[in-house]
A and B are shown apart, each in its own frame.
Chain A
Amino acid sequence: MNGSRSPAVAPIRRSPAHRLQAALGARFATEASWEIPVSFGKAEEERDAARLGVALVDITARAKVDVRGDLEKALLRLAGTPPTVRSVVTGGATGSERMHVARLGFRWALVLAEPSVGEGLLAAVDAAIARDEGMVTDVTGMLAGFALAGPKALELLSRLTPLDLVELAPGTCAATRVAEVAGVLVRPPTPGGVVELYVGSEYGRFAWETLRAAGEVLGAVPAGWETLRAEGWW
């Protein structure tokens, strides 16, 4: 019978910039079937960049759910505290403290979580939003994500986006243009200098290259998830 065979190899998910990072010496680990860059082999340099300059981390593997529709009640159920437009709240129905709900517009929100939350996130969001209230879509692979960590994160972004970055305070988000393509900027409400940038995954390699080139004068370095987690941001 057709389709009775199980796959011989476990499916692997990769970021669009995977090979570029591999060429830079990235060490990958598998998490929720994603190959995520955990380190680029220079832990001290990565840590210093994240504390004093700017570190670039590929966070495409973050679970991402797009929600469209009448969101007031839905976000109340989902997040406990419904975020106002252009704000970000933490926590919610999945029980994961790492879930962030970024409300990008009156009828548009993005829910973000650790890769391990995965399909659980989609189910949780789907459950919180009635079918006639809105549409829930897993956009994990649709958006490539990059964390800009460190005090020079905004200075780096100022080279790439026309957005007034003063408006991007912790706990806010914005849909804007970054590096000439549509992007979403999310600043989680946690202390620290992390800014998350999401662009269409088809622009993932371009965005990674552009971030690295623009960050060169600021001493930006590629970093892995170990740095983000060690610094307590994730």
Chain B
Amino acid sequence: MKILAVDDSRIVRRLVGAAAAVIGAECGEAGEGGEALRLLEADPEGYSLVCLDWNMPGMDGISFLRALRADPRWKTLPVLMLTAVADRESVLAAIKAGATAYMPKPFNETDLQAKMLDCLGLGFD
């Protein structure tokens, strides 16, 4: 299982990587949306979840999300928005653009792990 961390902050990418490791996943990294699309293109079925920042230089989170959902290969790929923008309108805009879930920044690793598991539909029965 592989998770893609798309964030211009190296610290956030590292946090996502650690949370991925705890739940037993590997983590790929991209600093903005365009780079993330290239990584997905290179391995279209390789990722189970994208953790996505909103504001990034280059292609931002919402533009990336729209591009992702416009491609039938990634219509159902879960996307978790990690964002400091968490007012109701922005959240609704993200959900409308195809985000599966969101997590307001700042967050801690433990909450992030739980959210990732939730997005992946993983649990223990």
Partners in one complex: no
A residues lining the B interface (CB < 8 Å): none
B residues lining the A interface (CB < 8 Å): none
